[in-house]
Structure 1
Amino acid sequence: MIFKQLLAWNIQNELSLSNKIGIIVFFVALLALAIIFGLLLLYRSILNHAYEAEKTLQKITKVPVYSRIRRFDVILEVNPENKELKQFLDIWSANYFAEVFDRLRVPSKNLELFFKNPQNRRPYISNLLKIRQTRRQISDIFMAVMQIYNETEKLITFEKNDRDARILTRIEFNKIVDSANVILKKTDGKMSHAILINKIKRLEQVNGIVEKKIGDGQLTSARRIQALMIEELIVLLKVMDLNKRAEEEIEKVFSTRISEIKRDLDRYILSNEDFNKAQKMFADFVEKFEAQKKSFYDSMFLLNYKDAMIKYNTLVEIVKTFEIKLEVERSMKVFIKHNYDEIKYLFGQFFIDYKKLEEVIEYNRRLNNDVDSIRVNYESMNHSVELFNDSVLVFFQNIDAKKENSESLEQEKLSDRLAELLKTLQIYYARIYDLSLKLQSTKSIDEKLGAKIHDIRKVLSTTEVIMAKNTQLTELSKYSKEINEIYKNINSTETDQNVRILLTEPENFKRAIKSLDGCLEQAIRIKEEIFNVILLEQISQKAIVYLSLANVNDSLKDEQIANIMELYNKRDFKHAINITIELLNQQIDRN
């Protein structure tokens, strides 16, 4: 741009010779400066590539691949059978020496000549291309060496983890062996010592195999066997723990519980017959318990801990079952002694309730409810209920006869028979309950009347609260009379018991419900009208205020606002609101 301006100026104005020479010198100097700047950039780029190549070369020498290869050589000398390591080492050695001693020779020599010969550092394009190629070759060799390093790193990490795992396994193994030796020293132990000793010896042999395979480099196989050995150790540990728990529980806790059961049993014996029966029960229990305990120890000797746990739980269940059986015997004896009359009353009450159901069905028929299917179901029960009544009478007659003759009651048979009768009673009560759900009783009718009265009182109470908060509205007073009339109607229905009973009669119920529905509708209407009056009053107040604010230019006549206020004072809120809206619309049109 400057050159064009100078040329144009030169054409328009003839320059002197000195000026022309000055211009030529200026441009020559500018060109020389550009060339020097370009050469400096080229020189800087050449040096950068050279120093980066030098840094990468130093990194290659610091990667500890060679030291690891020497370490693996030592390991192979100790364990020449480690074929897997030998195979890897051959590959790594060949690759490493090929990269470092073969491929790296040429680029490293070029780099050395670069720093020795100043001619190579001159800002020539050829020097830049040559040093870039050298840097690229060294970088590729560095990546190849790092790949070899990463491969050796995996083996180093695996070896380290494996060594730690072996140490931990050996520590835990020694702990288990120490615990086993404690058991072996006990002379009164229930576990078979020979089986335990053989188990530990076998695990020691397996551990030796694992260590040998690791030394041979068969790491995968060693890990697999080691995992199996750990599982065996866990099994042995569980069995030893189970043996300890079993001895403590069976020989101490169970013995104590059985002794307590025997003392408790003797305490509640009331007759010779009860004594003989209790002795037989206890003998059968002890025989069953000892047989199961022997079976449990047999499983322990075979180290079948799963089966042993099942049999151990069975021992617990045997003791619990016997305790429950004794408790049932005692409870039934006490229950019959202290609750005999209540039991008889329970069955007697059922037959009374069953007869009352027939009355309820008839009551619903008078209410014009469909009870045909209910009556059919009820009548289908009559025969079975009569048979059940006979069996209940026979049951209590037998008990009464034995009590009169001071004979011992057979508690077990008595308990079973009473349980059967109570179960049958429950079934019949469930059927009666299902039928009663489909029927309306005088109680449910009375509850409906009470609920309806409650709804009316709730609406009236809300209305009275609203009226109390708005006493300034005199026109609300006219509703007080209607509210009092409604209260008078529902109070007579609610407080007079004779009236309530009369209203539950089928012929009066529907009429009473209809009357109460009318009272509820009237109460709701009163509440809504009061809401409307209050709402209109508030709206008219706000409309007048807004009209006064809008009359900023006195465009409305005072008599118009006075007329609206007069309507408001007369409580003619609707008329006042309509006129206000009309005046506001006129005001908007005028503006």
Structure 2
Amino acid sequence: MNLLSGWDISGSLNTIQILCLSVFFVCLILIIILFCLFNLYKNILKTAYEAHKELIKIAKSPVQNRLKRLNFIVKNNSNSGIENDLNIWRIEYKNLIDKTFISQQNIVLNTFSDSKYRRPTILNYRRIKKCLDETKNISIKLFAIFKQMDKILMKEFIQRDTRIQIRDVYNSLKPIVADFLKDTNFIFDKEVFIVNFQKIDLALKLINIALKKGEYSKAVNFQSVTTKEIIKTIQTIDTFYLADKLLNKTLKDKMRDLETDSNKILFTKEEIDKKQLAISVLKNKFIDYYNEIFENLKKLDSEKAFSLLSEINDMVFDFENNIKRESKIKDFFVQNFSNLNYFCESVIDSQNKLENLALENKNQGQEVSQFSSMLKLSRKEAIKIDEKWKLICKSINNIKADKGFINLEELKISLTKILEDVQNIYIEFTKIASSLRTPSSLKQEIENKVLEIQTLLSNCEVILANNMNVPEIHSFYKNINKFYEDAEIIQNIEAANELFDLIIELKNEIKNKIIKEAFAQELIIYLNRFVNNEDFESVYEQVNEAYRQNDFENSISIAINSIIKFKNN
């Protein structure tokens, strides 16, 4: 039967339709209620499970073990200073476990064992939710107690880690010590060495006992002593091997090489004999140090032996460095003597050239008085350098002729000083030379100036040619021709500059004459505007007369004054 077929939306519902709708809504409400109850039941179980996990976490908390450890430390170490804190933590832990933890555990157990506590009611959900919150709060408080105790036990953890590291080093050192004891090349009191090494193992055990008792300061002292003993053992073994290598091989070979090399670098027999004596002294010291070093090693005094070993090693290497330094100085002289000789002897030559250049600049009209004092000082320094270099050359020549002895170190110092002086004087030479002009540059400057003069004279000629109508303008040609002749015989820049200034004056004079003549003409023309004035004839005649006599300035003056007078009337 199709229930919807008889429905009329626009009309009222019949009984069957109302009944169907009622059944539908009742079922819908029941489904919603069942869904809510199921969801509530699920949340109760889920919350109970989470609370159960939190309780297991609390049960496994290491706080109780920490309390036992601290209680043991307090019993064995009355000066620990943590007894009050321990009592507070013990009480807090007891309250949390005996009261809160047990009660919350019972709630969770009841939830899983008794069905009435699993019923999907708001009361049961709130009950288990509160239980979960309480268990989490217990975990937080226990963790806080744990962290506070951890701060106190941190020293123990660090010291235990240190002890483990020391034990690892000790274990790795055992085979090295065994091989060292088997080596027949070394003579020393092996029983004392073994006893000292075994003390390290005993000290490690004492460290462990002190840590268990909480005696941290005592454990630190044991660790410090143990570390020092391990370091001493390592240093002793290293010093034995190092002494054997250096004294029986490296330094012996080096002593032999030094004796051979020193004969190659010396100039004279006197120097060779002196160096051989120094090598003989070094050999005797080497033997003394050799015996003393191994005697100290025999007594296991590695610190003293190492100190002596460093001293003899430094002696040999210092001696070797002196030989190498002298060899380098000799090689430098042999390879660069000619260059050094040229370099030092050229100072006087450079001084002379610089003085000649200054004199030539002076002859060409350059101002060089400011360099006179500088040249005098450089002359003195140049003479000193030359004298010092000649003394060095004389010493070297005497050595080559086997007539004397030379100290290579003193020679190096003397040469260094001379080269510094040469460098400084050439800096002064450069300063002076940069301000002086070379002959070629002076000649070029004079030629350029003469070219400027000729160009300027040509310019004057062009101006004259374009203004030949100006009275007596041709008289300037005489001056121009004379200046051309003067330009041909110029010998220095000073004369060239003077001639150039004269030509500039001539050019200005020509321009002034042309301008004045043109202005006078214009004024005469302008004056004709006042022809009807009473005094015009006499004024006009005066202006023209002055113009005919080439007195352009007077003509201009009369014209201007008359024009002003005519305008005012």
Question: In the alignment, residue 249 of structure 2 is paired with which amino acid?
Answer: K
Counterparts of 1:341 and 1:105 in 2: how far apart (Å)? 105
Corresponding residue number in structure 2 for 1:437: 430
- Determine helix, strand or coil for the equivalent of 2:204: helix
Gap change, CA 1:77 and 1:432, over 3 Å in 2:
closer
Structure 1's unaligned 5+ residue stretches are 1-8, 447-501, 517-591
Matched, 1:48 2:43: yes
| Structure 2 equivalent of residue 569 of structure 1 | none
Shift of 1:51: 3.5
Q: Is the 8 A contact 1:50 1:135 kept in 2?
A: no
Preserved contact between residue 184 and residue 193 of structure 1 (Cα < 8 Å): yes
Q: Is the alpha carbon distance of 1:60 and 1:309 closer, same or farther for their aligned partners in structure 2, counting shifts above 3 Å? A: farther
What is the alpha-carbon distance in structure 1 between the residues aligned to residue 381 and residue 424 of structure 2? 13
Please say if residues 117 and 124 of structure 2, whose CA atoms lie closer than 8 Å, have aligned partners that are also in contact: yes
Contact 2:210 2:216 in 1 (8 A): yes
Conserved? CA contact 1:213–1:222, under 8 Å: yes
Alpha-carbon distance between aligned partners in 1 of 2:398 and 2:147, rounded to the nearest angstrom: 98
Query: What is the one-letter code of the residue matched to 2:444?
Result: N
Pair 1:65 & 2:60 matched: yes
SS in 2 for 1:303: helix
Distance in 1, Cα, partners of 2:338 & 2:35: 121
Counterpart pick for 1:262 among 259, 264, 273: 259
Conserved in 2, the CA contact under 8 Å of 1:273 and 1:408?
A: no
Q: Give the letter for the 2:219 counterpart.
A: A
User: In the superposition, relative to structure 1, how do residues 175 and 24 fare at CA in structure 2: closer, same or farther (>3 Å)?
Assistant: closer
Cα distance, 1:322 vs structure 2:
4.3
Once residues 63 and 416 of structure 1 are traced to their aligned partners in structure 2, the CA distance between those partners, rounded to angstroms, is 83
TM-superposed CA distance for 1:416, in Å, is 5.5
Which residue type is aligned with residue 327 of structure 1?
S
Query: What does residue range 152-171 of structure 1 map to in structure 2 within 5 Å?
Result: 165-171=162-168
Measure how far apart 1:246 and its partner are.
3.0
User: Which stretch shifts more, 21-30 or 342-351?
Assistant: 21-30
Match of 2:129 in 1: 132
**Relative to 1, partners in 2 of residues 1:292 and 1:387: Cα closer, same or farther, differing over 3 Å?**
farther
| Alignment partner of 1:410 out of 405, 412, 417 | 405
Q: Which amino acid aligns with 1:324?
A: K
Q: Indicate yes or no: 2:445 matched with 1:509.
A: yes
What one-letter code is carried by the residue in structure 2 that aligns with 1:53? A
Cα distance, 1:81 vs structure 2: 3.9
Preserved CA contact (<8 Å) 2:51 2:131: no
Q: CA deviation at 1:73?
A: 6.7
Measured in 2, the distance between the counterparts of 1:238 and 1:393 equals 57
Residues 292-331 of structure 1: pairs in structure 2 closer than 5 A: 301=301, 303=303, 307=307, 311=311, 314-324=314-324, 327=327, 331=331
Give runs of aligned pairs for residues 199-214 of structure 1, distance below 5 A.
200=197, 203-204=200-201, 206-214=203-211
Structure 2 counterpart of 1:233, from 209, 224, 230: 230
Amino acid of the structure 1 residue aligned with 2:32: F
2:418 is equivalent to residue 425 of structure 1: yes
Tell me the distance in 1 between the aligned counterparts of 2:20 and 2:365: 129
Q: Percent identity?
A: 16
Assess if the C-alpha contact under 8 Å between 1:63 and 1:146 holds in 2: no
Query: Where does structure 2 lack aligned partners over 5 or more consecutive residues?
Result: 1-8, 453-569
1:172 corresponds, among 163, 169, 172, to 169
* SS of structure 1 residue aligned to 2:303: coil
Q: 1:536 matched to which residue of 2? A: none
Larger Rg: 1 or 2? 2
Q: How far is 1:506 from its partner?
A: 0.6
- Superposed CA deviations along residues 198-224 of structure 1, whole A, max 9, x for unmatched, are 864664554343122123234576357
- Report if the CA contact (8 A) 1:285-1:322 is conserved: no
- Assess, with a 3 A threshold, how the Cα gap between structure 1 residues 429 and 63 changes in structure 2: closer, same or farther: same
What displacement does 1:361 show?
A: 3.5
Return the offset for 1:426.
Answer: 1.6
Query: Equivalent of 2:246, from 246, 249, 258?
Result: 249
Corresponding letter in the other structure for 1:262: E
Give secondary structure in 1 for the equivalent of 2:323.
Answer: helix
Cα RMSD of the aligned pairs, angstroms, is 5.5
- Give 1:254 deviation, angstroms: 0.9
Contact preservation (8 Å) 1:207, 1:226: yes
CA shift, 1:258, in A, is: 0.9
- Contact 2:48–2:111 (CA<8 Å) still a contact in 1? no
3-state SS in 2 of match to 1:408: coil
Q: Which residue of 2 aligns with 1:283?
A: 280
Shift of 1:358: 1.8
The letter for the 1-side match of 2:427 is: D
In structure 2, relative to structure 1, the CA distance for the partners of 1:374 and 1:217 (3 Å cut) is same
Structure 1 CA distance, aligned partners of 2:398 and 2:143?
103
Query: SS state of the match for residue 411, structure 1?
Result: coil
Shift of 1:25: 8.8
Q: Judge which range, 134-143 or 244-253, deviates more.
A: 134-143
Residues 277-302 of structure 1, C-alpha deviations (whole Å, 9 max, x = no match): 34323223334555666787799736
Is this contact kept in 1: 2:67–2:86, CA < 8 A? yes
Distance 1:122 1:322 in 2: 101
Quick check: 1:364–1:441 contact (8 Å CA) kept in 2? no
Bigger Cα displacement from structure 2, 101-110 vs 186-195: 186-195
Aligned residues: 439
**Aligned ranges 1:520-531 → 2 under 5 Å:** none
* CA shift for structure 1 position 384: 4.5
Aligned-residue offset at 1:430: 1.6
CA distance in 2, matches of 1:400, 1:118: 123
Counterparts of 1:56 and 1:408, CA distance in 2: 108
Q: TM-score, normalised by structure 2?
A: 0.58
Call closer, same or farther: CA 1:32–1:290 in 2, change over 3 Å.
Answer: same
CA contact (8 A) 2:50 2:132 kept: no
Aligned CA distance change for structure 1 residues 205 and 117 (closer, same or farther; 3 Å): closer
Corresponding residue number in structure 1 for 2:376 = 379
Range with greater deviation from structure 2 (252-261 or 116-125): 116-125
